């Protein structure tokens, strides 16, 4: 079986991993060992965060375990079609409150989701480096996730994540098979502006 080739090219000489990482949907469903999973979590652990608050939390389950089926049940039907073949499904949440050193009371953390996003990105990059893949899923029932996984109100439910071993697109339903290829990006000029926000 051949896995989708990656035709991405960078406009500037970044490390290969930034163009190599992508979000496939075709997974083998094979087990990821706890040792290998911990390598992915370890990468997330070293993400930067506001005040080093490390507000991210990952609730996860291995395929075949109750926690996996519970998270799969939260994911919308369109995403379930491929996410069911992941090795691990996870929900990423982040703590909305932060109590800094010397602070009497916790205050609203402005950057909790930004910090969790950094942790997600580190995990995804490491997954790719390790021969696995991580695919973020926004299409799931956030309220049900809070309720079912007992997530306290002070945490934001950020995103679901499927982790799996990439395989040939032939395992996917036809409509997804056609889309199973790395996509492109806007040019730098579309998002980076020296000075002021550009007039539209």
Distances (CA, A) of 6 to 9, 21, 90: 9, 9, 26
Q: Binding to ligand FMN by residue 138, rule CB under 6 A?
A: yes
Helix 34-45 to helix 112-129 angle (10° resolution) is 140
Contact (CB, 8 A) for 76 and 141: yes
**150 vs 52: CA distance, rounded Å:** 25
For residue 183, the minimal CB distance to ligand FMN (Å) is 5
Question: For residues 74 and 190, what is the distance between their CA atoms, to the nearest angstrom?
Answer: 35
Q: Which of 3, 4, 6, 22 binds ligand FMN (CB under 6 A)?
A: 22
Among 137, 149, 161, 172, binds ligand FMN (CB under 6 A): 137
Residues binding ligand FMN: number (CB under 6 A) = 10
Q: Build a one-symbol-per-residue string for 42-81: x at contacts with ligand FMN by CB under 6 A, - elsewhere.
A: -------------------------------------x--
- Does residue 183 belong to the site contacting ligand FMN (CB under 6 A)? yes
Of the listed pieces 28-36, 47-55, 133-141, 143-151, which binds ligand FMN according to CB under 6 A? Answer: 133-141
Query: Which has the closest alpha carbon to 98: 84, 83, 86, 108?
Result: 108
Binding site for ligand FMN (CB under 6 A): 22-23, 79, 136-139, 159, 182-183
């Amino acid at each position: 079986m051949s896995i989708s080739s990656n035709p991405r090219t960078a406009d500037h000489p970044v490390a290969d991993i930034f163009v190599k990482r992508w979000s496939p949907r075709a997974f083998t469903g094979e087990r990821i060992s706890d040792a290998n999973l911990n390598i992915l979590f370890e990468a997330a652990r070293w993400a930067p965060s506001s005040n080093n608050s490390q507000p991210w939390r990952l609730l996860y389950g291995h395929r075949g375990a109750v926690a996996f089926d519970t998270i799969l049940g939260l994911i919308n039907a369109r995403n379930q079609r491929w996410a069911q073949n992941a090795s691990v499904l996870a929900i990423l949440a982040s703590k909305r409150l932060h109590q800094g050193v010397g602070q009497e009371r916790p205050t609203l953390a402005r950057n909790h989701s930004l910090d969790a996003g950094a942790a997600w990105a580190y995990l995804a990059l490491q997954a790719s480096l390790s021969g696995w893949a991580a695919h973020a899923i926004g299409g799931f029932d956030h309220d049900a996730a809070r309720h079912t996984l007992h997530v306290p109100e002070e945490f934001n439910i950020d995103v679901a994540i499927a982790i799996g071993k990439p395989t040939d697109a032939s395992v996917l339903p036809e409509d997804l098979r056609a889309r199973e290829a790395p996509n492109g990006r806007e040019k730098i000029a579309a998002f980076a502006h020296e000075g002021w926000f550009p007039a539209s």
